[in-house]
Amino acid sequence: MNRRESLRALGAFLAGSPLLSDLLPGQQDVVRDHSRVPGLKELLTAFDFETVAYAKQPREAYDYRAYGAEGEFTLRRNREAFDWVELIPKRVSSGAMDTSTEVLGTKMAFPLLVSPTAGHGEIHPEGELATHKGASAASGTPMILSNNTSFPFDKVAAAAPGPMWVQLYPKQQLDANRTYLEAAQMNGARAVVVTVDQQVSYYERALHDRNLNPGRGGGFRSAAGRVSTNSNPYRVGDNRLWYEWKFFDEIRPFVKVPLIAKGIVTPEDAKLCLEHGVDCVYVSNHGGRSLDYGPATLEVLPEIVDAVGGKAPVIFDSGIRRGTDILKALALGANAVCLGRVPLWGLGSFGAAGVQRVLEILQAELVQAMRYTGRTNLASIDRRMLLTNFP
């Protein structure tokens, strides 16, 4: 090596030294982000998990679960509604905390369930198996398995001991519903959740560009990349726009467990649930992924609870991110709440351990909020602890 090569090598060594970063800020790479991914124990709120999940997932997988319908008004309103409800603190409270409850025969350490969400295998190799493992490890949190699952019900149920319910998108062929539901019940499904709020929606924002490009034979590609052709001119799937209340009457003979209607946002529909023998009313707007410019679920929850009048339990989802959100929903009359996107943030971050951790954070936040408001059990939670200012 000659003198020039030696000096070049020395210069390269010095240029790469971190000791020069303070003296030569121009040597730092200001374009790329060199921050490290935090460890599991460093994540302190549910929102921390979203950042990590975003960094780890393919953009398409994240977008499909993060976005809402059309202009996302309802997606935003679901979150804003929690700002319209204030908690009244009570400085002195005593007694042991008890957050346990029972809904439709399913005992729970906390009034929390994992909502049915599709295709967990897109964001973690173990998919719903990992979600169920994490939920079970978090004080046995029940999981509602989606109809659009990456793994069959029996395999998910065998992955962990926690209780499971099953979700159904109604099918026009009655036997198809029967086969699916009977298999799930045989493998331990403790309740059946029928989703009724996806009548029309097809253009989710994450799929918009894809839907504008016709596939083979003039069809349109679905989320799974399949080409679908429809008999109507509006590109709405033929499996929608046909739901009727008599569907619950038709499936009741082969549903031997409690039957739940998911997607209720009006008192009128809540009353119809009771008329058709539905055992539980599930207040939901599909996390803002169904009808845009619809109301937030939190702002319609009180009138639905009043309409049900204690004749059936009411469960709730859409927009929950914190323990205080859970407490507000319970105070407005929900018997339990369901979590959709939040467990997926945990799954996409650290698999089963992430699901467990994010649920435990929300459980701890709920206990803290109950303690601050002087409530030591679920029976003591009511609307008197709230100041509401819905528009």
**How many Å apart are CA 232 and CA 234, to the nearest integer?**
6
- Residue 182 in tokens: 């009977």
The active-site residue, picked from 120, 124, 132, 286, is: 286
DSSP secondary-structure letter at 116? P
Is 206 in a helix, a strand, or coil? helix
Q: Work out whether the CA dihedral 266, 258, 149, 49 comes out positive or negative.
A: positive
Distance in angstroms (rounded) separating the CA atoms of residues 57 and 45:
19
Q: Considering only CA atoms, which of 171, 165, 333, 173 is closest in space to residue 260?
A: 165
Residue 276: active-site member? no
Q: For the purposes of burial, counting CB atoms within 10 Å of the CB of 54, is it exposed (0-12), middle (13-18) or buried (19 or more)?
A: middle
Token pair for residue 373? 């408001």
Long-range CB pairs of 281-284, under 8 A, 24+ apart, other chains included: 281/308, 281/312, 281/313, 281/314, 281/315, 282/193, 282/314, 282/315, 282/316, 282/317, 282/338, 283/314, 283/315, 283/316, 283/317, 283/318, 283/334, 284/115, 284/197, 284/316, 284/317, 284/318, 284/338
Q: Is 348 in contact with 124 (CB distance < 8 Å)?
A: yes
Q: Determine the straight-line distance between the first and last CA of the chain, rounded to whole angstroms.
A: 78
DSSP string, 329-387: HHHTT-SEEEESHHHHHHHHHHHHHHHHHHHHHHHHHHHHHHHHTT--BGGG--GGGEE
**106, β-bridge pairs:** 103
| Amino acid in position 64 | Y
Structure tokens at 86: 């204030």
Q: Phi, psi (5° rounding) for residue 308?
A: -70, -35
User: Which residues are the active-site residues?
Assistant: 286
